[in-house]
Structure 1
């Protein structure tokens, strides 16, 4: 199978498979860990004396879902990467990004088993992905062994905070310690007392399930039933029977695309969809793809409200490659910021060697507490090239990496479905 490497939007795009409750919509999270993740604080004086990069070429690859149970996240994530590559290259600030787009698939179809070795052989400095925490876990150690940065825009498993990664794992998505807290509190504040939780048995599902359960029970509620399934399962009758028998007043569904099969089964078993609570793995614009009404159902997903002009730029970058309009923007900002932060780290280091870049990722994100705030690659690059320290505040938020490579500033949005099975942000 083939891949396509692009540095600018002018090259033609061909799709291929290679492989709190939120307070005013904003929550801040400071995550702490004892080991793993990113690097420690870099001495600002070292940054100021670092040589300005000239004619650097940064090779990155994506391991994002073109296929599999999270394929709906692929377009916005790849659009974010493409737009950032375009804008970094248009800035002509001493660095060019070449990107190769590849498929992560999921833990069932394992497209990443083709993608990751191919990108490693191409000599990329960083891989952007995967979206699924479970998939990233299956190749992260290989990348660490190869000395390659893995930078996910969507991994939320708390496990990565303490992963033994030699400072080579980073993410712009917050840990599920935050999303789980927001969702658990949302359900309680909506007045529910007895809930059931159906979750996917992987790093993502078990992690989020654990936090939601803990937070909801701490609020005085009771989890009356819980059931799990494995990625790749096609039948969910047993899980639905377990959930329905408990007579819950709300159901939390921590799934991927399996939701399209599970939701009608639950409704046919007498459950009310308006009492469903979804998460980022299944919070998509379902429309006619779900055979029952989801009106009233709610869900959460990380990410701030995106400015209209940013959404338009994302869509323009995406459609310029021969694609249809974006229907969803989940994790687009996080993907965009991943590319910008990698490019800024390379510029600050004067190098595209992964270890060198990793030494500056916390600094350029503002995580070191030093630097001049800037909101675009061009402005940040000007600061770096002038001998200063840049603190990039992006479209996904302030980011501000801690020593584990986790963002310490994040937003969780609350969404609700209408009669057309399309959701809108309500907080």
Structure 2
């Protein structure tokens, strides 16, 4: 287990005046410390995406510190290394230190065992900003597992419909990670594609971070599909595309999923990737502009995939914590929907410190997020989500369409 950092967030987002408190916070709440863990892959196959997600997850705490909020947030970041055992150790270290909640994990293959072995038995709330496996919906979790990322039960349908109905491709092949994320997403895609009338010519699973993927590419492309679906994370994806462009038809259409929506992927693969399009959950919430401005001001770069989801996951747990008035997992769990689902005054990233005040005073609020409106269903999943359709070309990525789902 790699411990990245532990600190009370006391600096960042300079130049903001002290928060003007209204006196609505009870005496027992004034000066209280909120404990927030962040469990993300800051190394390993998903490391290139994990650190920006973790930065997004830490941003609400930095915003409170910058305005002199009555609430300090003690943030402890832990690195899962994109490995289940490391993720379990990371989450357990937070539990042992008394943290009642954490934002994480990212890879579904890490989130599921972390939930089953750490969060659920220890009654600690976890909210994943990036785990999309449909298997998470059905966890017997006593309502301790939430996610701001949508289920791949939706993304698989999006991919199939884009390929068959919009692009007119009849025959597809799938190359996917051999884990909970890859297997589940590929299965949803295959089932929907066949329902629409398409043919799956081949499906191949692969292990992450291998030195070559040439042989598995030869196998999955043997029957000349109209397109190839690649479900991977960045480190493996870079090698897959290097091998693909070195030995296969560079004009064959390829669809990638959220794990490969990475601005640096074409440069890393040394190819403009003009034949590639992708799908990913969009940051399409009513407060996305406020979040984007805050993220860019703090980190000096634009947010990427799942960064807004990381912010929203932390923000809603902080609000639940201050509303509950206790660093206790059960208490936080019981207030999540009270601060997120439609209940009262709209709040969000544009006025997060004021939202914390209102929550601490017991006011009725509705957190409207950067990633979505953030309404949780009975399984802790999002009720409404939006997907980006992304086209690669000339070493750049461009969102060309969006598809909305309402639960």
Per the TM superposition, whether the score is higher than 0.5 is yes
Picking from 335, 352, 357, the partner of 2:332 is 357
Aligned to 2:269: 290
Does the aligned pair in 1 maintain the 2:214–2:244 contact within 8 Å? no
Change (3 A) 1:337 1:52: farther
Picking from 152, 167, 172, the partner of 1:195 is 172
Within 5 A, what are the aligned runs for 1:61-210? Answer: 61-90=37-66, 94-107=70-83, 110-141=85-116, 142-188=118-164, 189-210=166-187
Q: Residue deviations 1:381-421, cap 9 Å, x none?
A: 3443454311100101111011111111211111111112x
Aligned to 2:256: 278
Change (3 A) 1:363 1:419: same
Structure 1 CA distance for aligned equivalents of residues 113 and 367 of structure 2: 30
Does the aligned pair in 2 maintain the 1:75–1:326 contact within 8 Å? no
What secondary structure does 1:394 align onto?
A: coil
Shift of residue 237 of structure 1?
2.9
What secondary structure does 2:274 align onto?
A: coil
Change (3 A) 1:218 1:266: same
Aligned to 2:9: 8
What secondary structure does 1:143 align onto?
A: helix
Shift of residue 92 of structure 1?
5.3
Does the aligned pair in 2 maintain the 1:52–1:387 contact within 8 Å? no
Within 5 A, what are the aligned runs for 1:19-58? Answer: 53-58=29-34
Shift of residue 124 of structure 1?
0.9
The range that moved more, 267-276 or 286-295, is: 267-276
Within 5 A, what are the aligned runs for 1:295-334? Answer: 295-305=274-284, 307=288, 310-318=291-299, 325-326=300-301, 329-334=304-309
- Between the two structures, name the one with larger relative contact order (CA 8 Å, sep ≥ 6): 1
Change (3 A) 1:273 1:255: farther
What secondary structure does 1:300 align onto?
A: strand
Does the aligned pair in 1 maintain the 2:295–2:303 contact within 8 Å? no
1:424 counterpart = 2:398: yes
Shift of residue 206 of structure 1?
0.9
The range that moved more, 298-307 or 386-395, is: 298-307
Aligned to 2:16: none
Structure 2 CA distance for aligned equivalents of residues 304 and 328 of structure 1: 10
Structure 2 CA distance for aligned equivalents of residues 344 and 292 of structure 1: 44
Structure 2 CA distance for aligned equivalents of residues 385 and 146 of structure 1: 25
Structure 1 CA distance for aligned equivalents of residues 74 and 266 of structure 2: 36
Q: How many equivalent pairs are there?
A: 380
Shift of residue 159 of structure 1?
1.0
Give the alignment's Cα RMSD to 1 decimal.
2.4
Unaligned runs of 5+ in 1: 12-49, 319-324
Q: TM-score, normalised by structure 2?
A: 0.86
Aligned to 2:379: 404
What secondary structure does 1:240 align onto?
A: helix
